[in-house]
């Protein structure tokens, strides 16, 4: 039905798809699994014409096709339900479904016949929605049905579903799988992108496993099991085991009690989480990305509106809930954010200017004329110190941060945050997009900081990294702590299962 | 390519391209573009009138260019310089009239303060509206232009109008006058209204440079403009920066009132601004949002403005409106910088820098 | 006596609102497709000047008589379309900042009419007078009917045709529209170009409807009032019409107010002029219901970011 041959796609200096081959047989449910960033969505977005591949070809029904836009893909019978729904919220269900494929003539939009056609489709596939309801009034489960109807309305024969169950409750997932099976019975082909192994095993006929932009495995679902898939998914070249001594654990620095965080839409992202981090230890949080890690760290760093939080965050006995990011930094909390381009750097600023972000307003940086003027000498000295201490290349404080490679950008951020001698360090994905040499260096630095008595909370999607660095390991799933394991004895499979299945 | 050359290249190309397009228009209406451009630019170099008037016209443009620049550096688009400078000019005149009898040592600073703070106030309003309600500063500054202009026109007409057909206030006190440069420069006639405000404008370029690039406040404003999420991460209050930047921007626009009221007309004259606020957008953009660039761009537009009079007088078909036509085309070209990158070729050596 | 005043006030409200309605509805097309339109002022000026110049030429030089304003009207639409094309190419093709390009168009159009009238009519910024009987219809009844028909048509296009559906979706969520197979670029071009035509018509009504010649900067901010009406009308055709009528009414009042009041009492005209702008700010801050712009307004659409 659908075949990708040698698809390669590059975003800037990131190779998102590296000679990807995927074959989807007609009338099957085909799962594509892999960690976040493995390139699953990119490959499928290329198949749907949302992105264009740098090289490689796409075959539909055995013929090479040039898919330049979703318009072309739709014409070939391909439909896609994106992870973030592509719905116009202010419009009705019917309007969303017919958009781009409107019934009636150019001068008269026939929404009435559309509505009846939609009812017929809902009937056929048991996808109950009211065509005249505005989308913004629907639950996410209902919105997903609208997305499915959108594809079916366009007579899609192949449906690509990107992380379709991420937004559903377990009960809804059951229902959703029934719908998928019904579709298969009706002769449709389904591609489901996911990282939840239990679901893969429950629903799919065949599985393609991706890792780091490459296809690393193709199996029949009936011939495999969760442990094998988990190993394929997370397994990578074994890094050097991090050398570290037994931790000299001190008093609790960070205490989190019954913390819940909701996002702007009101959905709970962090759900009733309690834990503590003591000085001299690294507490790791493992989990598939998007399970509340981002919101947790941002809440601890003071980047979440207090109105969206309940519970208590305290640091050295002091409640932090209502304190802003600046005060928290002054208390000795440093933060290495997960997204260095969005949060961590001012890309247009030079390295020197970036090296003082967060301490720019106090001595010795702002010292002259009553602390108003920046002391250029002090700024340069600090920049040089960080650049040399953390081997940032090229070692030129006047270069814009944009011009550095990912690894060097990351070293600059780490150097900046280390330089404030934090008592608590919040670290997210410290080695994402960083080359092997730099990874080792960053790991050694983290362990060194811990040995100096800093409390470290480490979030990483790299299982290997988080298990080898942590002294204690918490597993987060769906905003909750799904369990705590001893990283020295727990196996990757064990952790992988907790990550993907919850309890 | 060295940085300076790179910074200069696109503005130069934009100006050149605009002159070519303008030249075609001039040809179409039946005049000789070379003659027209000679009239337009050549007159600016004559001593003392050409140079004197060009610098005089450049003064308000430097202020408004700086105002737009400060907004831009914080990621804000201040289209409201026009309204801010009207409000400030009236406030300056009001102080100059009401406290006319004070000694110059008190009155001049008082008038300066009136210009600066009233401009800052009018600029801060859209800042607060954005920080508090998230409403777009572009729409609000446009609306506040009309409100501000109507407001000062009301005060002029109903409370401070000089009897007669002209909408203007009475003269300000002598003590509020600031010196024209003719008083210091031998051979430079005092009738040319170039005054101390020009030096103030140059000083402001230096101050804006120091403020934005050498103080912690400027750092915070620029950080907010560069990446508000990273600024927030660094403990910077984005809302405060928005209000601060708009206030500083308004204050700079307000200083146009010093040139106009204290150095030129010695009264508030309704409708005095020759679109200074809007031209400030062109000045800042062409000057690549740098104080030095602002001076150069302001000089170019001022020379054109001065030359426009000669075009009106000496050419057959074209009028001084060519100046605004050129300005418009220049901004269009600057805005669509991508156009040149696209036209020159897909790959440029500095594309990824 | 009182009735005469009221009737004349209604008539003048309709007359003054007409160009606002045209420009605002034009802006509606552009903004609903996601392109900010602060260039309405410039497009109105283009329409006003072209209409007056062409009508004059058709009348005085070609002797087309009563047909000449209609020729002028068509020319104004073409002028609006031309300016909108420049704007659209800059904002959509080259992804230039929409506000900067809009400001550029406005400044350009402050100059172009003067530049051309100097060349064509050897005047400084105005066109020659057109005879009173060679202007567009002035009857408030006719204007009111035309406006109502236009609003109805635009309402229909926006809510009852596939094009309207696509336009609204592109302004709200271009990615979703793209995913559904709609060409964001095409729709945005259409939106901006329709805005140009309508704003050009609005300008034409100023010069060859309300007046009989073009004068320098004769729109005097009406493009911005139209923008204000669009925001005040929450980007919907009927509400926008009502907002234009309200703003036309304030203008009518500000013209007639002196005649009503006993001598010695005055309502400063400036305060009446401010009404549209103050209302817009208040609405935008969310004090009167919620006014939500099209979600993608002002953001160039970029795939694969």
Strand pairing partners for A374?
A: A366
Verify whether the Cβ–Cβ distance A326 to B227 is below 8 Å. no
Note whether B226 contacts A361, CB cutoff 8 Å.
no
pLDDT of residue A153: 92
The whole-angstrom distance between C31's CA and the closest CA on chain A is: 16
Q: Which of B215, B233, B235 sits opposite A344 (nearest CB)?
A: B233
Strands A424-428 and A455-460: parallel
- pLDDT digit string, tens, across residues A157-193: 999 999 888 767 667 788 889 999 999 998 999 999 9
How far C23 CA lies from chain A's nearest CA (Å)? 23
Closest residue in A to C170 (Cα) is A88
Identify the pLDDT of residue A232. 83
Q: How confident is the model at residue A414 (pLDDT cuts 50, 70, 90)?
A: very high
Residues 116-175 of A with CB under 8 A from B: none
- Which of A74, A85, A91 lies closest to C168 in CB terms? A91
pLDDT, tens only, A415-447: 999 999 999 999 999 987 776 677 888 898 999
* Residue B145 and residue B152 in contact, taking contact as beta carbons nearer than 8 Å: no
CB atoms < 10 A from the CB of B220, how many? 24
**Which chain B residues contact residue C115 at CB under 8 A?**
25, 29, 318-319, 321-322, 325
Give me the residue from C161, C164, C178 closest to A70, CB to CB: C178
Q: Do residues C27 and C226 make contact, with C-beta atoms less than 8 angstroms apart?
A: yes
Which one is predicted more confidently, A374 or B315?
Answer: A374
Average pLDDT over chain A, rounded to an integer: 88
Q: In this complex, is the C-beta atom of A394 within 8 Å of any C-beta atom belonging to chain B? A: no
Q: Which of C32, C155, C181, C303 to mutate to test the interface with A (most CBs of A within 10 A)?
A: C181
DSSP letter (8 states) at residue B176 = G
Picking from A339-348, B115-124, B228-237, which range would have the lowest pLDDT averaged per residue?
A339-348
Name the least confident of A408-417, A425-434, B172-181, B223-232: A425-434
User: How many interface pairs between A and C have CB atoms less than 8 angstroms apart?
Assistant: 79
B233–A326: do the CB atoms touch at under 8 Å? no
Closest of B100, A70, A135 to residue C168, by C-alpha: A135
pTM, two decimal places:
0.88
Opening angle at CA B142, ends B140 and B147, nearest 5: 90
Please check whether residue C256 touches A, CB under 8 A: no
Name the strand (E) or helix (H) holding A32.
strand A29-33
**Average pLDDT of the residues in B177-196:** 92
Which pLDDT band, with edges at 50, 70 and 90, does A243 fall under? confident
Residues in chain B: 353
Beta-carbon separation of B217 and A326 below 8 A:
no
Selecting from A11, A86, A106 the residue whose C-beta is nearest the C-beta of C179 gives A86
Show residues of chain B in contact with A365, CB under 8 Å: 216
Q: What is the pLDDT of residue A48?
A: 93
Q: Which of A16, A68, A86 to mutate to test the interface with C (most CBs of C within 10 A)?
A: A86
Q: Which residues pair with A318 in a beta bridge?
A: A315
pLDDT bracket for residue B227 (50, 70, 90): very high
A224, A491 contact by CB (below 8 A):
no
Ramachandran sector of residue A254 (left: φ over 0; alpha: ψ -120 to 50; beta: rest)? beta
Is there a contact between A400 and B217 if contact means CB atoms under 8 Å apart? no
What integer is the mean pLDDT of B82-109?
96
- Count chain B–chain C contacts defined by CB atoms under 8 A: 160
The three-state DSSP-derived secondary structure of chain C is: CHHHHHHHHHHHHHHHHHHHHHHHHHHHHHHHCCCCCCCHHHHHHHHHHHHHHHHHHHHHHCCCHHHHHHHHHHHHHHHHHHHHHHHHHHHHHCCCCHHHHHHHHHHHHHHHHHHHHHHHHCCCCCCCCCCHHHCCCCCHHHHHHHHHHHHHHHHHHHHHCHHHHHHHHHHHCHHHHHHCCCCHHHHHHHHHHHHHHHHHHHHHHHHHHHCCCCCCCCCCCHHHHHHHHHHHCCCCHHHHHHHHHHHHHHHHHHHHHHHHCCCCCCCCHHHHHHHHHHHHHHHHCCCCCCCCCCCCCCCCCCCCC
- Position A235 scores a pLDDT of 67
The predicted model gives B131-141 an average pLDDT of: 90
Could you tell me how many CB contacts below 8 A there are between chain A and chain B?
Answer: 77
Please name the chains neighbouring C, where neighbouring means 3+ C-beta pairs under 8 angstroms.
A, B
User: Which residues in chain C have their CB less than 8 angstroms from residue A115's CB?
Assistant: none
Q: Which residues of C touch A109 (CB under 8 A)?
A: 160-162, 164-165
Residues from chain C that touch B323, judged by Cβ atoms under 8 A, are 111
Q: Where does the pLDDT of residue A280 fall: very low under 50, low under 70, confident under 90, or very high at 90 and above?
A: very high
> Do the chains contact at C176 and A88, CB–CB below 8 Å?
yes
Search chain A and give the residue with CA nearest C159.
A109
Name chain C contacts of B144, Cβ cutoff 8 Å. 277, 281
For an interface test with B, which of C42, C104, C105, C292 has the most B Cβ atoms less than 10 Å from its Cβ? C104
Tell me if residue A192 falls in helix, strand or coil: strand
Q: Choose among A71, A88, A109: nearest Cβ to C181.
A: A71
Q: Do C161 and A100 touch (CB under 8 A)?
A: no
Region A121-135: mean pLDDT is: 88
State the sign of the Cα–Cα–Cα–Cα dihedral B16, B19, B21, B23: negative
Q: Which of B155, B301, B311, B336 to mutate to test the interface with C (most CBs of C within 10 A)?
A: B336
Interface of B with A in 207-226 (CB under 8 A): 210, 214-217, 219-220, 222-223, 226
- Subunit contact B327:C124, Cβ cutoff 8 A: no
At CA A461, angle to CA A460 and CA A466, rounded to 5? 50
Please give the DSSP secondary-structure letter assigned to residue A54: S
* Closest A-chain CA to C173: A88
Quick: pLDDT tens for B65-81: 999 999 999 999 999 99
Query: In this complex, do A95 and C165 lie within 8 Å of one another by their Cβ atoms?
Result: yes
In the predicted model, residues of chain C with pLDDT beneath 50 are 1, 305
């Amino acid at each position: 039905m659908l075949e990708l041959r040698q698809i390669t796609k590059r975003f800037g200096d990131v190779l998102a798809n590296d000679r990807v081959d995927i074959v989807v047989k007609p009338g099957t449910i085909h799962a594509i699994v892999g960690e976040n960033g493995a390139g699953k969505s990119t490959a499928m977005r290329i198949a749907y014409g949302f992105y264009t591949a740098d090289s490689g070809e796409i075959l539909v029904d055995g013929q090479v096709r040039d898919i330049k836009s979703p318009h072309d893909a739709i014409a070939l019978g391909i439909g896609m339900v994106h992870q973030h729904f592509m719905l116009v919220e202010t419009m009705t269900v019917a309007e969303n479904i017919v958009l781009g494929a409107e019934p009636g003539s150019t001068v008269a939009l026939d929404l009435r016949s559309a509505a009846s056609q939609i009812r017929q489709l809902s009937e056929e596939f048991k996808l109950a929605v009211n065509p005249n309801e505005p989308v913004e009034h629907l639950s996410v489960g209902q919105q997903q049905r609208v997305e499915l109807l959108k594809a079916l309305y366009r007579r899609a024969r192949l449906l690509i579903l990107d992380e379709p169950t991420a937004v559903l409750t377990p009960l809804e997932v059951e229902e959703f799988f029934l719908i998928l099976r019904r579709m298969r019975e009706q002769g449709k082909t389904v591609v489901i992108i996911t990282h939840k192994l239990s679901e893969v095993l429950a629903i799919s006929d065949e599985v393609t496993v991706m890792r780091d932009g490459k296809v690393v495995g193709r199996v029949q679902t009936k011939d495999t099991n969760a442990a094998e898939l988990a190993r394929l998914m997370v397994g990578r070249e074994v890094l050097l085991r991090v050398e570290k001594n037994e931790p000299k654990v001190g008093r609790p620095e960070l205490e989190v009690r019954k913390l819940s965080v909701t996002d702007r839409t009101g959905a709970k992202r962090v759900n009733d989480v309690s834990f503590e981090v003591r000085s001299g230890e690294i507490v790791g949080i493992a989990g598939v990305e998007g399970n509340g890690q981002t919101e947790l760290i941002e809440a601890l760093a003071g980047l979440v509106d207090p109105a969206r939080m309940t519970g208590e965050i305290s640091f050295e006995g002091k409640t932090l809930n209502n304190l802003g990011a600046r005060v928290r930094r002054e208390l000795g909390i440093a933060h290495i954010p997960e997204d260095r381009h969005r949060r961590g750097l001012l890309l247009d600023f030079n390295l020197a200017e970036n090296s003082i972000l967060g301490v720019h307003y106090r001595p010795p940086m702002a010292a002259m004329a009553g602390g108003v003027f920046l002391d250029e000498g002090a700024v340069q000295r600090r920049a040089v110190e960080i650049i040399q201490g953390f081997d940032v290349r090229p070692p030129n404080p006047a270069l814009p941060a944009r011009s550095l490679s990912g690894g060097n950008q990351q070293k600059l951020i780490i150097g900046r945050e280390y330089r404030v001698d934090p008592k608590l360090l919040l670290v997210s994905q410290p080695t994402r997009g960083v080359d092997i040499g730099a990874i080792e260096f960053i790991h050694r630095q983290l362990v060194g900081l811990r040995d100096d008595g800093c409390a470290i909370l480490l979030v990483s999607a790299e299982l290997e990294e988080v298990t080898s660095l942590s002294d204690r390991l918490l597993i987060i799933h769906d905003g909750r702590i799904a369990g705590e394991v001893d990283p020295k004895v727990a196996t990757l499979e064990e952790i992988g299962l907790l990550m993907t299945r919850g309890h | 390519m060295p940085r300076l050359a790179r910074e200069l290249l696109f503005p130069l190309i934009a100006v050149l391209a605009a002159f070519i397009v303008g030249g075609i228009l001039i040809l179409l209406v039946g005049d000789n573009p070379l003659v027209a451009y000679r009239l337009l630019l050549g007159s600016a170099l004559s001593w003392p009138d050409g140079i004197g008037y060009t610098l005089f016209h450049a003064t308000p443009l430097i202020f408004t260019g700086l105002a737009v620049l400060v907004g831009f550096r914080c990621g804000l688009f201040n289209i409201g310089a026009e309204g801010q400078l009207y409000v400030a000019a009236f406030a300056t005149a009001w102080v100059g009239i009401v406290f006319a009898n004070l000694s110059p040592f008190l009155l001049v600073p008082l008038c300066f303060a009136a210009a600066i703070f009233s401009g800052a106030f009018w600029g801060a309003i859209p800042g607060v509206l954005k920080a508090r309600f998230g409403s777009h500063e572009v729409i609000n500054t446009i609306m506040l232009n009309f409100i501000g202009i109507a407001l000062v026109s009301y005060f002029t007409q109903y409370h401070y109008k000089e009897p007669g057909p002209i909408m203007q206030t009475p003269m300000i006190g002598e003590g509020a006058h600031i010196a024209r440069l003719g008083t210091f420069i031998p051979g430079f006639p005092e009738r040319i209204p170039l005054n101390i405000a020009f030096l103030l404008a140059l000083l402001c370029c230096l101050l804006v440079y120091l403020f934005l690039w050498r103080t912690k406040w400027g750092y915070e404003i620029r950080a907010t403009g560069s990446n508000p999420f990273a600024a927030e991460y660094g403990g910077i209050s984005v809302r405060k920066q928005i209000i601060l930047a708009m206030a500083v921007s308004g204050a700079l626009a307000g200083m146009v009132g010093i040139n106009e009221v204290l150095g030129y007309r010695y009264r508030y004259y309704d409708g005095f601004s020759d679109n200074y606020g809007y031209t400030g957008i062109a000045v800042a953009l062409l000057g690549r949002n740098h104080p030095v660039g602002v001076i150069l761009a302001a000089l170019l537009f001022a020379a054109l403005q001065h030359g426009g009079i000669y075009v009106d007088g000496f050419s057959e078909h074209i009028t001084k409106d060519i100046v605004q036509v050129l300005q418009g085309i220049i901004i269009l070209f600057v805005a669509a910088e991508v156009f040149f990158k696209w036209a020159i070729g897909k790959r440029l050596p500095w594309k990824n820098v | 006596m009182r009735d005469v005043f009221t009737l004349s006030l209604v008539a003048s409200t309709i007359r003054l609102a007409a160009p606002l309605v045209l420009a605002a509805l034009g802006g509606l097309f552009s903004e609903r497709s996601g392109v900010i339109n602060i260039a309405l002022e410039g497009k109105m000026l283009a329409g006003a000047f072209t209409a007056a110049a062409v009508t004059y030429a058709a009348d005085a030089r070609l002797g087309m008589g009563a047909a000449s304003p209609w020729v002028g009207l068509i020319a104004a639409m073409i002028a609006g379309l031309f300016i909108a094309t420049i704007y659209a190419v800059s904002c959509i093709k080259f992804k230039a900042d929409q506000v900067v390009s809009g400001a550029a168009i406005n400044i350009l159009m402050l100059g172009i009419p003067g530049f051309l009238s100097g060349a064509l009519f050897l005047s400084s910024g105005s066109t020659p007078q057109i005879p009173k009987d060679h202007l567009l219809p002035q009857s408030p009844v006719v204007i009111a009917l035309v406006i109502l028909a236009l609003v109805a048509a635009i309402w229909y296009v926006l809510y009852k045709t596939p094009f309207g559906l696509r336009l609204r979706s592109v302004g709200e969520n271009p990615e979703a529209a793209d995913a559904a197979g709609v060409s964001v670029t095409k729709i945005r071009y259409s939106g901006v170009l329709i805005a140009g035509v309508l704003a050009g018509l609005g300008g034409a009504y100023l010069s060859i409807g309300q007046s009989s010649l073009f004068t320098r900067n004769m729109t005097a901010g009406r493009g911005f009032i139209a923008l204000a009406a669009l925001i005040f009308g929450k980007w919907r055709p009927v509400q926008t019409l009502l907002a234009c009528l309200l703003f036309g009414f304030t203008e009518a009042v500000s013209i007639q107010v002196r005649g009503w009041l006993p001598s010695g009492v005055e309502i400063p005209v400036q305060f009446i002029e401010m009404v549209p702008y103050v209302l817009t700010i208040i609405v935008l801050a969310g004090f009167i219901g919620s006014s939500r712009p099209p979600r993608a307004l002002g953001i160039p659409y970029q795939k694969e970011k």
